[in-house]
A and B are shown apart, each in its own frame.
Chain A
Amino acid sequence: KAGVTQTPRYLIKTRGQQVTLSCSPISGHRSVSWYQQTPGQGLQFLFEYFSETQRNKGNFPGRFSGRQFSNSRSEMNVSTLELGDSALYLCASSNEETQYFGPGTRLLVL
């Protein structure tokens, strides 16, 4: 069974730009969660989508948004990028018992 895939793997943007990250979950998993990971803050939960609906949300500003499609694939969008948005963005897909992470997208904002 294929694992969670994320594209792109690396991205460089400048302040003020926007970015869209993509995640394909494990086949059969309907829940997709997004996390931001930085050395200083650790793993921080952004949001979770289940059957195309946002089910849970973390404490991030409205610049961070997401959506999920009918095939469970998910996208995350960050608008008006700031230097502090530089991080590893991780997508995870879940069944009822546990969660599996993708390799992440490393975003650098200059």
Chain B
Amino acid sequence: QKEVEQDPGPLSVPEGAIVSLNCTYSNSAFQYFMWYRQYSRKGPELLMYTYSSGNKEDGRFTAQVDKSSKYISLFIRDSQPSDSATYLCASFYSSASKIIFGSGTRLSIRP
């Protein structure tokens, strides 16, 4: 079992829709959770990171962590075609531990 599981998609939604991207993890020691966006042929770009459980909002993006169910979510409101990319979730528990990445979900926003 992978430590961080992510549905690879692809996920296709119409412009303006709310997008929900999800990951599950197995290591209960994980404390830090990140979401990256990666456009084709570019390096991953950090979107948001959270520590422990709870929600964090940044513009149209909301990251949510539920440690009781080991569930990580990223919500995108009012989705735009420019949001079309691969989204990667990642987790780790201390600065000395490896960061574990999900396999990425390919998202396509239809105009």
Contacts and interface: CB of A to CB of B under 8 A. Distances in A.
Interface of A: 31, 33, 42-43, 45, 48, 50, 55-56, 88, 90, 94-104, 106
Interface stretch (B16-24, B36-44, B53-61, B75-83): B36-44
Interface of B: 32, 34, 36, 41-46, 49, 51, 88, 90, 95-99, 101, 103-104
A104 B101 CA distance: 17
A104 B98 contact: no
Given A97-B32, A97-B51, A99-B90, A45 B98 contact: yes
Contacts of A55: 96
B44 A56 contact: no
B43 A90 contact: yes
